[in-house]
Structure 1
Amino acid sequence: MSGVNGASSSDHHGTGFAQVAPPNSTGVKVIIVGAGFAGLGCAVESKRKGHDVLILEKFKELKALGDIISFGNNAGRIFERWGLHDKFWAVSSHVKTLMIHNAKGELLVEQPNPDPLFGAYAYNAHRGELHTMLFEYAQSLGVEIRLGQDVSEYWETETEAGVISNGERVAGDVVVGADGVRSTARTLVLGYEDKPKSSGYAVYRAWFDCAEQGVDKDPLTSFICQGKDLFYGWIGPDVHFLAHSSRDGKKLANVITHKDDADIAESWSFPGKMEDCLKIVEGWDPRCAALLSKAPSLVDWKLVYRDPMPTWISPGARLALIGDAAHPFLPTSQQGASQALEDGVALAVVLQLAGKKNVPTAVRAWEKMRYQRVRRAQLLGESVRDMWHKAKPEDKGQAVALPRPEWLLGHDAEKHAYEVYDSVAKEILEKGYERPTLPVAVPPVGA
């Protein structure tokens, strides 16, 4: 069998292409805007596939921001392939069981948390720590990262694409917009500026040291500081509260999702008021208010919604949006960062398979390969939220368990891209490019 660009398909994954190619062997120059997880992940895999990679990041210095971030097993197999397991595992929480309760504090399900699952590990750790490790790994591979970059314009022609950054014209074969939910590249792809909408929900979040805040001394909260990592959840009408200890019970992350119809401006993260947060759990299991009140400060994070984009790629197919720039996720999906990583890995593979002369075909095929899967994962996150927020007090067991479907967590984005690229690209070349279609129905939670 021959590949779309004429290459034989005899070795890795039946493609004829090395999983790790010699540096700069493809001649494809990839410009990535944004050095978050999406951008760094795309850069690492692009480097592994033999592309020339440049990242442009607006921040002037690396900052370890945020609290807990979750990478599912589908992302974990990518990190393990990169040799990052030991580093990531050392700073990750190791929760054995998920304990979900109703608002009265009655245990509804005690759900085992197997790791590994579907042949790979999941990683839940401090966002800043994992990001720093991935940033340093990208640099160790020779990825060029320019900080303090103001990307003011995107452009493409039939033969190249690029940006204007700090007034300088930077050209390449493909530009990857990995600059988050407020992406400036979205406007070029859509042809108009889409504004975020209120999802109807907001989150109060906190991350802090248990001993410093007396969590281990209070009889109502000491249960979560037992020298091991624990995960407790409480669900009620239109609310769910997750408390997650890590670092052998030394750190605590609190996340409570609740109804909030505030009008959303372009800035949607604010300092939170503890009295407002505690009102949400009035009359609940007293452990909830006790845990929430231990936080030295709160972030009030408005969950914005954007209509699914009709396409993630520009008219000339030399600009692709990945991660939050293309498809923001709800926290209940626990898949936003994982799907961003899959995006970047799959894009690096198809650019390798297509070669420099066929970049637009690669980008169009990548969108077709990824779009339905990502949307299905987004809808699952909405289903989980609705399942918890609409649960009856007597619902127990699988009715309120966190779903872990194999189609989601058992996926290997790199292997899949190698396997399906030829057929997807062939279909586009024969029938022409069509914008992707949305799934017609929300999948069942367990599907």
Structure 2
Amino acid sequence: MTARDSSDNTTIGSTKLVPDVNFDVGFEKVAEPNSTQIKIIIVGAGFAGLACAIECKRKGHEVVVLEKFSEMKILGDIISFGNNAGRIFQRWGLHETFWPICTHHQELNLHNAQGELICVQKLPSVQFGAYSYNGHRGELHERLFAFAKSLGVDIRLGQDVSEYWEDEEVGEAGVISNGELLRADIVVGADGVRSKARSLVLGYDDKPKSSGYAIYRAWFDTHEQGVDRDPLTDYLVKNGDAFYGWIGKDVHFLASSSKNGRALSWVITHKDEADIKESWSFPGKMEDVLAVVDGWDPRCAAILSKAPSCIDWKLVYRDPLPTWISKEARLALIGDAAHPFLPTSIQGASQAVEDGVTLAVVLQLGGKSDVPLALRAWEKIRYQRVRRAQITGETTRDMWHNADPGARGAAVELPRPEWLLGFDAELHAYEVFDGIVREIREKGYELPRLPPREE
């Protein structure tokens, strides 16, 4: 099976996919339903789990999604999908569904703590042949969930997955959910940072640690909170959507309006060494929030104080896992269960989408008889790219938090490299699969290696 990307269409094998330049076409399946006879259980209906389920449906796999919540609610605040994930959503025909509810700012206006404008960075909506999508996490999730359901994805809510298992002798894996034993060819743990699946993959319970930072974050209606009536804040909404930021020692603060200025979200990252053994998300106290920007540009306090409430979110950290797949390669971790990202990477959700899409492709190529080999190839395809993307979150945070007071322009710009945003996870998987499988067969499976700077 070959992959070809041309200016007017994209072909995989004999199947023509939706061209990236046509955003209005509907979903096109790549294989007939259940044609591979591969059965997949996905635990978690977040962005990682839903993206994996949707692409598995495209690739002809049979998929069941188990979600612990009994109903899906519109929760959270801002989430960002880079162009690399955007091209996948466009291929699924979701542009017209997502675009009306997204943020439509075109630049980041970045200031130092004294309020001096130090950078105006252009942020085009379309770059590297694809859109980016930034909007309310709950609203975008609601639409992706509805899309998965419309395709016939079997999503079961209110599921308590208490146990994971695999048995290579019979070539199966499965879970116990609500006391019921469920069997499949592969189980995908898309159950987030508190993943239960992680312990089976690693053979031990991996404990998170504090990253040394936390975020206060909020999302609210601008008119209700008077953002449009205060000269210290009205510039965020009076000309549509806007994106403003301030950086200082060990702190950065970002504020972004959405829906033509009708909604505002802000996040402020600061030093925090709190113990996160039990929980890492709490209601925030506004006096603590304002203390972070004491002595800063007065616009910062004005924006922050408009929020009726906020969340205090401790940023947890995990050392890179030595592997994302179980011993018998019948269980895989994707998204936050495998690799939590710092928000400054602006890639956590996008890499979760790439995980699911790539997994669906390699299972299609490997076939039912070679599921473990396909899973090992998937890990090899994904591991170094994901870690390289994770590192951008650390370097961007450090760049802003340690910026020289005189830093200007490119010295403080958000990195937007083509290797990251111009990537097509689906086509890449088709292109490299055969070579990676050949290498595994010749040399045997080895644990993935970290990028060179960390070895």
Query: Cα offset for 1:227?
Result: 3.6
Query: Is 1:103 aligned to 2:113, yes or no?
Result: yes
Contact kept? 1:335, 1:377, Cα under 8 Å? yes
CA distance in 1, matches of 2:261, 2:237: 5
Number of the residue aligned with 1:377: 389
Number of the residue aligned with 1:131: 141
> In the TM superposition, what are the counterparts of 1:44-443 in structure 2 within 5 Å?
44-158=54-168, 159-441=171-453
Amino acid at match of 1:213: Q
1:441 counterpart SS class: helix
Query: Cα offset for 1:413?
Result: 0.2
Number of the residue aligned with 1:3: none
State how many pairs are aligned. 435
Per-residue displacement from partner, 1:32-63 (whole Å, max 9, x unpaired)? 00000000000000000000010000000011
In structure 2, relative to structure 1, the CA distance for the partners of 1:128 and 1:14 (3 Å cut) is: closer
In structure 2, relative to structure 1, the CA distance for the partners of 1:95 and 1:273 (3 Å cut) is: same
Gaps of 5+ in 1: 1-7, 443-447
CA distance in 1, matches of 2:229, 2:284: 25
Number of the residue aligned with 2:24: none
Amino acid at match of 1:166: N
CA distance in 2, matches of 1:360, 1:437: 19
In structure 2, relative to structure 1, the CA distance for the partners of 1:18 and 1:322 (3 Å cut) is: farther
1:21 counterpart SS class: coil
Q: What's the TM-score once normalised by structure 1's chain length?
A: 0.96
1:75 counterpart SS class: helix
Contact kept? 1:204, 1:256, Cα under 8 Å? yes
CA distance in 1, matches of 2:296, 2:353: 38
Contact kept? 1:258, 1:280, Cα under 8 Å? yes
CA distance in 2, matches of 1:270, 1:40: 27
Per-residue displacement from partner, 1:160-219 (whole Å, max 9, x unpaired)? 111011111100001000000000000000100011100000000000001101111111
Query: Cα offset for 1:393?
Result: 1.1
Query: Cα offset for 1:427?
Result: 0.7
Gaps of 5+ in 2: 5-9, 18-29
> In the TM superposition, what are the counterparts of 1:26-45 in structure 2 within 5 Å?
26-45=36-55
Query: Cα offset for 1:411?
Result: 0.3
CA distance in 2, matches of 1:242, 1:431: 48
Contact kept? 1:17, 1:353, Cα under 8 Å? no
Query: Cα offset for 1:14?
Result: 5.8
Amino acid at match of 1:110: V
CA distance in 2, matches of 1:174, 1:404: 35
1:254 counterpart SS class: strand
Query: Cα offset for 1:18?
Result: 7.3
1:311 counterpart SS class: coil
CA distance in 2, matches of 1:17, 1:322: 27
Query: Cα offset for 1:349?
Result: 0.2
CA distance in 1, matches of 2:278, 2:48: 21
CA distance in 2, matches of 1:192, 1:290: 47
CA distance in 2, matches of 1:78, 1:114: 18
Q: What's the TM-score once normalised by structure 2's chain length?
A: 0.94
Q: CA RMSD in A?
A: 1.2
